[in-house]
Amino acid sequence: MGIQIDLDKCSGCGECVPACPFGLLEVVDDKVQLKEGCTLCGACQEACAFEAITIETVPEAEAADESYRGVWVFAEQRNGKLKGVAYELLSRGRELADTLKTELGAVCFGHDVAEINLLAAYGADKVYLVDSPELADNQEDSYTRQLVELIQQYKPEIVLAGATSLGRAFIPRVSAILGTGLTADCTGLDIDTENRLLRQTRPTFGGNIMATIICPTKRPQMSTVRPRVFKKNEPDTSRKGQVIKLDFARERITSRTKLLNFVEDLTETVKIEDADIIVSGGRGLGKPENFKLIEELAAVMGAAVGSSRPPVDEGWIPYSHQVGQTGKTVCPKLYVACGVSGSVQHMAGMQTSETIIAINNDPHAPIFEIATYGIVGDLFQVVPMLIEKLKEK
């Protein structure tokens, strides 16, 4: 079952061999052979020009329940403040709802949540608000069961939520209870209008392979999306949405877990290896005091502070910030190198960063060879300008 290789069609070209992420294919005597362990991911089927490989699909036992309509966005809040990802998802959700010619709903749980009207401003036609002291602490037991009840009552066909530490923890529980499919960390969402299906695209293997996924028969189709994947539109405060206030079902729903305490992270404990954005300073800073500039830029960007070797050696910044061959190896989404020349040793520690920005007044600095974007200029002029412009938004 599962995967079939038609040896008559197989030409032995071997194109499928490198396509298999698990290395399970090999060409023996001009025909391909498959080792054990196939997960039916379909990469080989994709690669075969001779249609020799088929992944058997199990025929659907049932059709999707057509009574499910509407796109919902779970609007996450903490301590009464809505999170940016809610607006981002509403922006994209609005487009999906328009394509499906259906309504966009925002679901919000909490207590004394501020600025609820913004949910409509970002596109929600309806806002389902459950405001209750029991929901103030984001206790996932309550959130899970309350969302399940709402979905069972209102039957949206699509539910989106932020892939935050809350979202990634409780949304799977909702999908498990409902017996429906959930796709995590989607980077792309669009509609297959012919079949009224949500096409969910997400990275696997650390982003080396992309997969597009559908949930053909179960409802709702659920996805989580990381913050900053979608951009939020300009809010239209003239837009009005219907706020539906619902009572928390406290007779039915209690939380088994209890929040005893919340400890805020006051120090910058973003370990640079885990940071999405790193701003690094190098010898070009000239003086220890000038690291303040780097710290300021990092703060504005929500970034961790890194360093090449010379500042660490000089004692301007602790060794834990050092990036490079004798420091840490990092691979953030964005690496901003200020006054860093880009020695081989430093580049060894950061060259796999997704986007690299270099700011240096030496046009021949090696860092420019690996930078995605570069500014040849005095960092003491450029960095303050960056800070100012970023603060504006």
Residue from 77, 102, 175, 353 that binds another protein (CB under 8 A)? Answer: 175
DSSP collapsed to 3 states, 288-337:
HHHHHHHHHHHHHHCCEEEECHHHHHHCCCCHHHEECCCCECCCCCEEEE
Q: Which of 29, 258, 315, 364 binds another protein (CB under 8 A)?
A: 258
Nearest approach, Cβ of residue 22 and another protein (Å): 6
Given candidates 28, 37, 238, 252, which one binds another protein under the rule CB under 8 A?
Answer: 37
Q: Please give the distance of CA 327 from its chain centroid, rounded to a whole number.
A: 28
**Binding residues among 310-339 for another protein as defined by CB under 8 A:** 325-326, 333-334
Residues 4-23 that bind another protein (CB under 8 A): 18-23
* Residues in region 209-238 near another protein by CB under 8 A: 209-218, 228-231
Q: Which amino acid is at 190?
A: D
Torsion of CA 125, 131, 135, 138, to 10 degrees: 40
- How far CA 376 is from CA of 18, 339, 358, 384, in Å, comes to 40, 10, 8, 15
Give least dist CB 8 to another protein, A: 24
Report the residue number, 246 or 270, with the smaller CB distance to another protein.
270
Rounded (10°) angle between helices 140-154 and 167-178 = 50
By CB under 8 A, name the one of 169, 240, 242, 250 that touches another protein.
Answer: 169
Of 106-145, binders to another protein (CB under 8 A) are 140-141, 144
> Which residue from 91, 107, 331 is spatially nearest to 225, judged by alpha carbons?
91
- Tell me if 184 contacts another protein by CB under 8 A: yes
* Least distance (Å) between residue 10 CB and another protein: 18
CB of 225 to another protein, least distance (A): 12
Query: Total number of residues binding another protein (CB under 8 A)?
Result: 102
User: Residue 126 pairs with which residues in a beta bridge?
Assistant: 105, 242
The nearer residue to another protein, 240 or 274, going by C-beta atoms, is 274
Backbone angles phi, psi at 321, to 5 degrees: -95, 0
Our CB check for another protein shows the closer of 47 and 244 to be 47
Span 61-80, contacts to another protein by CB under 8 A: 61, 78
Q: Please give the biggest Cα pair distance in the chain.
A: 72
- Per CB under 8 A, the list member of 8, 63, 262, 364 interacting with another protein is 262
Beta-bridged to residue 4, according to DSSP, are: 54
Exposed e or buried b per residue across 331-362, where buried means at least 16 C-beta atoms within 10 angstroms of its C-beta: ebebbbbbbbbbbeebbebbbebeebbbbbee
> From the CB of 243, what's the least distance to another protein, in Å?
27
Pick 28 or 61: Cβ nearer another protein: 61
- Of 339-368, binders to another protein (CB under 8 A) are 345, 355, 357, 363, 368
Between residues 28 and 266, which has the closer beta carbon with respect to another protein? 266
Who contacts 296 (Cβ-Cβ below 8 Å, separation ≥6)?
387
Rounded least distance, CB 385 to another protein, Å:
4
